[in-house]
Structure 1
């Protein structure tokens, strides 16, 4: 895409050097509060790609000085969510769907490997995390709230990777999960996808518990691909609808 892109937008050298000087780690204190709130507003589509604002705008709204606001914005810029515009303040970056699809592809690789390792466990071994997943996705009554199911969906997929016991796989997967969250949540704005997620998660889990490797990997791949397809179909109109509260 020609304009700024969420997650991987390049900045010029001067700005990048300024970011590196000011943001060697996540912000703390008031800056962290502002950072988290702005990030949540981006995820909730209260702030949309292309929205512009000044540091003073945020400082007034957050009842804070400009220093922690600037620290929070530098951190968000490092993560690719915003960029500074010369003489015109800050702007929310556009969504780079090509990059998001690349992240989905990497996510599939990690999760298929996780399933392979879990299916290789002795039949009598049932990791506690998998027991918890079975209880929620198979045994317990289904939830109806899309936002709540979206959060549990993230936990489901992260737990599969974490259950392998490989901390580096889990770390990379968590990073991917964070980066695709902004659009992944749109997959749960329609009731059919919520119901389908319960059904598909249940089948994936049962295949893993029964050590049916090909079945588990096939169902997992199809499950993620269906979500990935929905992401490709997201439009700016849907984001505006989300901002107005029409999508919940």
Structure 2
């Protein structure tokens, strides 16, 4: 396979994966509908191979579950989501707290500056609202955690993020939310670069959720939105779940 053909294959795989991910994260698939490779491939105008690869990838990301040889959208569970949000907040704050607690530790400031430069570009040209912003947000928090110097903590955070991704997809549906997220990220980074770690921790806590009641309310709204979105998309997808 030449370079051009390999590039085209890679683009097709990414396209199939992106389309399925967006439908899952928007609640556009029936929750209890089995996703059959042949039906999905027919609908997307693709072969079964990229569809199968996309399904496996989405399963690894926590958006699909596998049962009796079939693939199904993950059903959001409010109690589990609440617990995972608590874990996420703990992990996020621990990254900065460990730097505050030990004088010999410190942030990788080159990594923080690079992260600041990237998000300054987003401030100048904000991305379109939607699921892709969630992935950018996740990447921000993982890079921030990595810069704090505990790779094990970062790996656990990545796992938790994948498990709450389906619900968090509803966080970035408006331009206002995207703009606010960018500003909050830059505020956290500014505080770190100014060596005001206490302020950075406060800003980070406010950003990821400083009240479990607020987090629970947001998760409940997201679960409700997912079920409503699924009901709206049921007729479109029922033929591909047979």
* TM-score tier (shorter): 0.5 to 0.7
Shift of 1:98: 1.6
CA distance in 2, matches of 1:127, 1:36: 35
- Hey, which bits of structure 1, 4+ residues long, moved more than 6 A? 121-125
Measure, in 1, the Cα distance between the counterparts of 2:116 and 2:68: 48
The structure whose residues are more often helix, as a share, is 2
Per the alignment, residue 113 of structure 2 pairs with 131
TM-score by length of 1: 0.65
Correspondence for 2:9: none
C-alpha contact 2:167 2:219 (8 A) present in aligned 1: yes
TM-score for both structures, normalised by structure 2 = 0.67
The worse-fitting range, judged by mean Cα deviation, of 98-107 and 202-211 is 202-211
The 1:183–1:79 alpha-carbon spacing in structure 2 relative to 1, beyond 3 Å, is: closer
Separation of aligned partners in 2, 1:58 and 1:171? 32
Instruction: Identify which of 136, 154, 164 aligns with 1:180.
Output: 164
Matches within 5 A, 1:91-170: 91-119=72-100, 127-138=109-120, 140-147=123-130, 148-170=132-154
Of 183, 195, 209, which residue of structure 2 is paired with 1:211? 195
Tell whether 2:204 aligns with 1:220: yes
Deviation at 1:128, TM superposition (A): 2.0
1:234 paired residue among 183, 205, 222: 222
> Structure with the greater relative contact order (CA < 8 A, sep ≥ 6): 1 or 2?
2
Match of 1:42 among 1, 19, 24: 24
Residue correspondences, number:
210
Would the aligned equivalents of 2:112 and 2:147 in 1 still touch at CA under 8 Å? yes
Change (3 A) 1:195 1:58: closer
Q: Unaligned 5+ residue runs, structure 2?
A: 1-12, 234-242
Task: Classify the secondary structure of the residue corresponding to 1:82.
Answer: strand
Distance 1:58 1:130 in 2: 42
Q: State the alpha-carbon separation in 2 of the partners of residues 45 and 115 from structure 1.
A: 34
